[in-house]
Amino acid sequence: MIYLDNAATTRHKPDCVVEAVTRALCSLGNPGRGAHEGSLDADRVVFDTRLALAELFHAEGPERIAFTANATEALNIAIKGILQPGDHVITTAMEHNSVLRPLYEMEERGAELTILPADRQGRLHLEAFEAAIRPNTRAIVSTHGSNLTGNLVDIGQVGQLARRHGLLLVADASQTAGVFPIDVQQMQIDILCFTGHKSLLGPQGTGGLYVRPGVTVRPLLSGGSGIQTYRRHHPPEMPTALEAGTLNAHGLAGLGAAVDYIRQVGLETIREQEMDRMWEFYRRVRAIPGITVYGDFSQRLRCPIVALNVRDYDSSQVSDALSSHYGIATRPGAHCAPLMHQALGTVEQGAVRFSFSHFNTREEIETAVSALAELAQEE
């Protein structure tokens, strides 16, 4: 299989990740639930992964990183944990349903919601954030990079604006963590939500959120914590405050190994390799008659994603043909990004998304381009 669906999940994991998960499955106990060797080993694995992510994101300390099952859980915790009825929140048409659906829920509970539009290239206008601010605005929730077009948002500029107006910034780094440098302090991000199974190269079932010191997030869950058992309420200290129940220590062992791999190879090296594959693919497919490419390609730095359609074929037909006839894995349909498809005018057709990893080869790009050229030929 030629795997070009890395924006959904990275299929090719570094060997060290597989080894770390296997070793953890064979040796770890329950973190924070005992003083025996298995439990203490699990504690160390969880802490080391927490520390590695804190350093990767330039957090103030490892305790600012709380673990979740994925970015969706992290975003639900963040959105539902900071908004109250009567609060106003600003978001964008670029967002994934993991942002939109929790916000719609909060709107039904009495919050006020403004969604900033995107243009036909899927671009935002940053001045729209400031224009949307009201006296009761509490927060801005924005993606760092679109999972459909690959367009980036200058999250540092949004962070400066939010801090200037006393607002919280919740950033969704699902498509950028592990590819682009993220400094939560410099970018003035109050809450960063991330998943482990995409560009961080870790296992599914891992993710988390960074919470800035001084920001309080109401827990989504409460229950076992391993500490302060006789309290009626869940412990309020980070990261325990947002981590009810047993953590996925086996998955976190893999995520920690993945972050170590990214550091060793180098974030810039990985990003440049992915940019090289993406740009080679884009330059060639945009010249094929019958191919329509979506998104803003005026800036070199973008998520390694190319979304396109072939003539008027339904995107699912094209993706199925790529898989069954050429062994190429892509993602068709709506990509959990309904407002972005509205902006692009692709609600009915959907789009075929190609998303790249630094493990992809030039030969694979050649095969994908040739396959599209054949599919685009007029009958």
| % of the chain surpassing 70 pLDDT | 99
Name the residue with higher pLDDT: 279 or 229. 279
Q: How confident is the model at residue 191 (pLDDT cuts 50, 70, 90)?
A: very high
CATH code for the domain in which residue 355 is found: 3.90.1150.10
Q: Using CA atoms, how far apart are residues 40 and 44, in angstroms rounded to an integer? A: 6
Question: Distance (Å, rounded) from C-alpha 250 to C-alpha 227?
Answer: 21
User: Which letter, b or e, does each residue of 192-203 get, where b requires 16 or more Cβ atoms within 10 Å of its Cβ?
Assistant: bbbbbbbbbbbb
State how far the Cα of 310 lies from the Cα of 283, in Å rounded to an integer.
16
Average pLDDT over residues 144-155: 98
**Backbone dihedral angles phi then psi of residue 209, each to the nearest 5 degrees:** -145, 145
Supply the angle between the helices 249-265 and 267-285 in degrees, to the nearest 10: 80
Q: With beta carbons less than 8 A apart as the criterion, state whether 212 and 233 touch.
A: no
Does the structure show a pLDDT above 80 at 378?
no
- In this structure, are 173 and 315 located in the same domain? no
Question: Above 60 in pLDDT, residue 379?
Answer: no
Q: Are residues 163 and 283 in the same domain?
A: no
Domain-ending residue, one of 265, 285, 304: 265
- The mean predicted confidence, pLDDT, of the chain is 97
Q: Which of 331, 336, 335 is nearest to 97 (CA)?
A: 336
Residues 74-101: pLDDT tens digits? 999 999 999 999 999 999 999 999 999 9
Domain encompassing residue 279: 2-10+266-375
141/241 same-domain check: yes
Identify whether residues 202 and 334 lie together within a single domain: no
Rounded distance between C-alpha atoms, residue 139 and residue 112, angstroms:
11
Question: Side-chain half-sphere of 194: how many Cα atoms within 13 Å?
Answer: 32
Inform me whether the pLDDT recorded for 7 exceeds 60.
yes
In the chain, the amino acid numbered 14 is P
Does one domain contain both 274 and 257?
no
Q: Do 27 and 121 sit in the same domain of this protein?
A: yes
Instruction: Record the pTM.
Output: 0.97
Dump pLDDT digits (tens) for 225-269: 888 889 989 999 999 999 999 999 999 999 999 999 999 999 999
* 311: nearest Cα among 341, 338, 288: 288
Q: Amino acid identity, residue 256?
A: G
Kindly list the distances between the CA atom of residue 281 and the CA atoms of 355, 360, 372, in Å, as whole numbers in the listed order. Answer: 10, 11, 11
Give the domain CATH number at 87: 3.40.640.10
For the stretch 283-327, pLDDT in tens is: 999 999 999 999 999 999 999 999 999 999 999 999 999 999 999
Least confident interval from 24-38, 141-155, 205-219: 24-38
- The string of pLDDT tens digits covering residues 315-337 is 999 999 999 999 999 999 999 99
Domain match, 128 and 94 both = yes
Q: Which of helix, strand or coil describes residue 158?
A: helix
Mean pLDDT of 206-213: 98
Q: Of all helices (H) and strands (E), which one includes residue 196?
A: none
Query: Do residues 122 and 221 share a domain?
Result: yes
Tell whether 204 and 325 lie within a shared domain: no
**Structure tokens belonging to residue 126:** 């940053």
Examine the fold and report which residue of 247, 265, 283 is the final residue of a domain before the chain moves on: 265
* 265-295 exposure pattern, b = at least 16 Cβ within 10 A, e = fewer: eebeebbebbbbbbbebbebbeebeebbbbb
The answer to whether the CB of 238 falls within 8 A of the CB of 298 is: no
Indicate the number of domains in the chain: 2
Q: What is the mean pLDDT of residues 165-194?
A: 98
* Cβ atoms within 10 Å of 260's Cβ, excluding its own: 17
Query: 35: pLDDT confidence band, cut at 50, 70 and 90?
Result: confident
| 342 and 231 in a common domain | no
Are residue 326 and residue 197 in the same domain, yes or no? no
Domain end residue (candidates: 222, 238, 265): 265
- Distance separating alpha carbons of residues 314 and 294, to the nearest angstrom: 15
Asked if residue 182 and residue 99 are part of one domain, the reply reads yes
Q: Parallel, antiparallel, or unpaired for β 65-68 and 88-92?
A: unpaired
